[in-house]
């Protein structure tokens, strides 16, 4: 009887548990902000992780104004070669897939948009400078060919995709669905899983039929390293860390023993270099910034009536503007003018006050120890013929004359210090 009860219990309980265990989960990541190397690394690692855990699909919640073309190409390549379905979900309401986001959305196996979102405006831009007509045409044609390739691969509206690049057209989620730019719309993740259930997509290993209606949702967050790289991929942050590193090291060099500025300087430069390896740095701009710092240092040592300071300010401004050079018109990469002006003003004040005070302190006559007695006046306690004792600063010192004998009670001035003996000469009344 007991065996029969256990058998019935197993027959009723174990099959649902087994089926639940076999139901794959949907992995979800969020990319909210500009497309940069951190975004590319995040997507690459999560595609691999979802594939290793046999996930039903990887959902990318996307909200971006654009970003770096190099990172975009890496992300598109990973999505086209992904071994499992990758679903791009432009969400939440008010989100956008602009510029680089258009390429990423179209490269997905399934593209979904939430109500109140938009997609488009992928025309090359030229922040900070005008691009000549030949270069603009070259950049536009390259981007148009890139987006046509993606659209053809995913069977999307090729004509609209090219117009998004050439004419910066944009669509709402309903217009995008009507024009075959996306596959469906969804107001939530669960609606999305219901909408894509049963769809067939071609992945790197063959064709996969999605089984997502009852799939669980697993949110995947960025690692600490990915979050750090995401922050440092902002050119303004990299620029500030670089300047803080320069300030810290210079302050330590001109004020040895301060320690803290040196530590801050080294950490700042390391973080700046870590950031710059992923950004398109123009070394001419970096050279101008360093030249400006040298001019400020020379101003502290030479009399130039302000010309060196003016040259340093101009050099740092020009170098800051040139520091990050976009590799393509699709890149959204530039320094904020507010950040540049604050850094230039702070740099000028730093060298005038902080470094200047350190140099003046080094040049100042010693006031303590035996060297601080040189030039000070005292009174002979005993006759100096040539040796004797003097009183100076309320202390009694051994002294000897630099010339003739000196009577007791005479005023003397210290010429130099030999070990613990003061060499003095008489002050003529």
- The Cα 110–Cα 185 span in angstroms is 11
- The Cα 274–Cα 26 span in angstroms is 33
On whether both 130 and 209 belong to a single domain, the answer is yes
**157: helix, coil or strand?**
coil
Of 219, 227, 198, 192, residue with least CA distance to 210: 198
Specify the DSSP class assigned to residue 423.
E
On whether both 306 and 379 belong to a single domain, the answer is no
Q: What is the pLDDT of residues 93-129, one digit of tens each?
A: 999 999 899 999 999 999 999 999 999 987 665 544 4
Residue 204 resides in a domain: yes
The total number of structural domains in the chain stands at: 3
* pTM score of the predicted model: 0.70
Q: Which spans in 108-208 are helix H?
A: 133-153, 158-166, 173-178, 189-196
On whether both 347 and 384 belong to a single domain, the answer is no
Of 338, 363, 388, which marks where a domain is finished?
A: 363
- The Cα 60–Cα 32 span in angstroms is 10
Residue 190 resides in a domain: yes
The list of the chain residues with pLDDT below 70 reads: 1-23, 123-133, 135-136, 254, 300, 303-306, 326-334, 352, 354-372, 429
Residue that has been written with the tokens 């400006």 in this structure? 292
Residue 1 resides in a domain: no
**302: helix, coil or strand?**
coil
On whether both 197 and 215 belong to a single domain, the answer is yes
On whether both 309 and 391 belong to a single domain, the answer is no
3-class SS string, 56-94: CEEEEEEEECCECHHHHHHHHHHHHCCCCCEEEEECCCC
- The Cα 34–Cα 38 span in angstroms is 10
On whether both 114 and 149 belong to a single domain, the answer is yes
Per-residue confidence (pLDDT) for residue 111, from 0 to 100: 96
Residue 10 resides in a domain: no
Could you tell me the two tokens for 240?
A: 């500030």
232, 275 Cβ separation under 8 angstroms: yes
Judge residue 213's burial from the number of C-beta atoms within 10 Å of its C-beta, 0-12 exposed, 13-18 middle, 19 or more buried. middle
On whether both 187 and 253 belong to a single domain, the answer is no
Per-residue confidence (pLDDT) for residue 17, from 0 to 100: 44
Which residues touch 284 (CB under 8 Å, ≥6 apart)? 319, 322
Residue 11 resides in a domain: no
**113: helix, coil or strand?**
strand
On whether both 349 and 402 belong to a single domain, the answer is no
Domain limits for position 399: 370-426
On whether both 305 and 391 belong to a single domain, the answer is no
Of 342, 363, 384, which marks where a domain is finished?
A: 363
Of 322, 342, 363, which marks where a domain is finished?
A: 363
Residue that has been written with the tokens 């960025």 in this structure? 222
Of 397, 295, 415, 416, residue with least CA distance to 352: 295
Residue 83 resides in a domain: yes
335, 241 Cβ separation under 8 angstroms: no
Per-residue burial over 350-384, b if 16 or more Cβ lie within 10 Å, else e, is bbeeebeebeeeeeeeeeeebeebeeeebebeebb
Of 169, 246, 191, residue with least CA distance to 59: 191
Distance from chain centroid for Cα 384: 70
Residue 274 resides in a domain: yes
On whether both 168 and 274 belong to a single domain, the answer is no
- The Cα 293–Cα 315 span in angstroms is 9
Per-residue confidence (pLDDT) for residue 18, from 0 to 100: 42
On whether both 200 and 240 belong to a single domain, the answer is no
3-state helix vs strand vs coil in the chain, percent to 5: 50, 20, 30
On whether both 318 and 358 belong to a single domain, the answer is yes
Residue 103 resides in a domain: yes
Per-residue confidence (pLDDT) for residue 372, from 0 to 100: 64
Length of the chain (residues): 429
The helix (run of H) or strand (run of E) holding residue 349 is helix 337-349
Residue 388: which CATH number?
2.40.50.140
Residue 59: which CATH number?
3.90.226.10
């Amino acid at each position: 009887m007991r065996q029969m009860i256990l058998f019935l219990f197993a027959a009723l309980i174990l099959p649902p548990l087994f089926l639940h265990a076999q139901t794959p989960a949907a992995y979800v990541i969020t990319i909210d902000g500009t497309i940069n190397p951190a975004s590319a690394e995040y997507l690459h690692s999560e595609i691999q992780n979802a594939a290793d855990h046999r996930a039903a699909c990887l959902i990318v919640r996307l909200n971006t104004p654009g970003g770096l073309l190099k990172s975009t190409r890496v992300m598109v390549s990973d999505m086209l070669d992904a071994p499992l379905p990758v679903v791009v979900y432009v969400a939440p309401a008010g989100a956008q897939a602009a510029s680089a986001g258009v390429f990423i959305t179209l490269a997905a196996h399934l593209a979904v948009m939430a109500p109140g979102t938009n997609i488009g405006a992928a025309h090359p831009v030229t922040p900070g400078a005008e691009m000549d007509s030949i270069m603009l045409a070259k950049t536009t044609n390259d981007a148009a060919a890139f987006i046509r390739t993606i659209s053809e691969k995913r069977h999307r509206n090729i004509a609209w995709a090219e117009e998004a690049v050439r004419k910066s057209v944009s669509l709402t989620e309903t217009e995008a669905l009507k024009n075959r730019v996306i596959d469906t719309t969804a107001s939530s993740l669960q609606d999305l899983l219901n909408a894509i259930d049963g769809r067939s997509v071609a992945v790197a290993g063959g064709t996969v039929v999605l089984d997502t209606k009852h799939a669980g949702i697993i949110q995947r967050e960025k690692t600490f390293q990915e979050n750090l790289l995401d922050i440092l991929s902002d050119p303004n942050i990299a620029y500030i860390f670089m300047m803080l590193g320069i300030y810290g090291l210079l302050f330590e060099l001109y004020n040895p023993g301060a320690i803290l500025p040196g530590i801050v300087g080294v950490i700042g430069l390391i973080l700046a270099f870590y950031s710059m390896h992923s950004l398109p740095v123009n070394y001419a701009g970096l050279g101008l910034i360093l030249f400006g710092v040298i001019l400020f240092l020379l101003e502290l040592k030479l009399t130039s009536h302000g010309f060196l300071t003016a040259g340093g300010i101009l050099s740092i401004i020009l170098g800051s503007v040139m520091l990050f050079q976009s590799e393509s018109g699709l890149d959204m990469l530039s320094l904020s003018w507010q950040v540049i002006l604050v850094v230039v003003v702070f740099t000028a004040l730093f060298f005038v006050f902080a470094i200047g005070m350190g140099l003046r302190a080094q040049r100042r006559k010693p006031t303590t120890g035996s060297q601080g007695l040189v030039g000070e006046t005292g009174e002979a306690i005993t006759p100096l013929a040539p040796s004797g004792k003097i009183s100076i600063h309320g202390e009694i010192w051994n002294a000897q004359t630099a010339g003739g004998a000196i009577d007791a009670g005479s005023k003397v001035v210290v010429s130099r210090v030999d070990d613990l003996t003061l060499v003095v000469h008489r002050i003529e009344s």
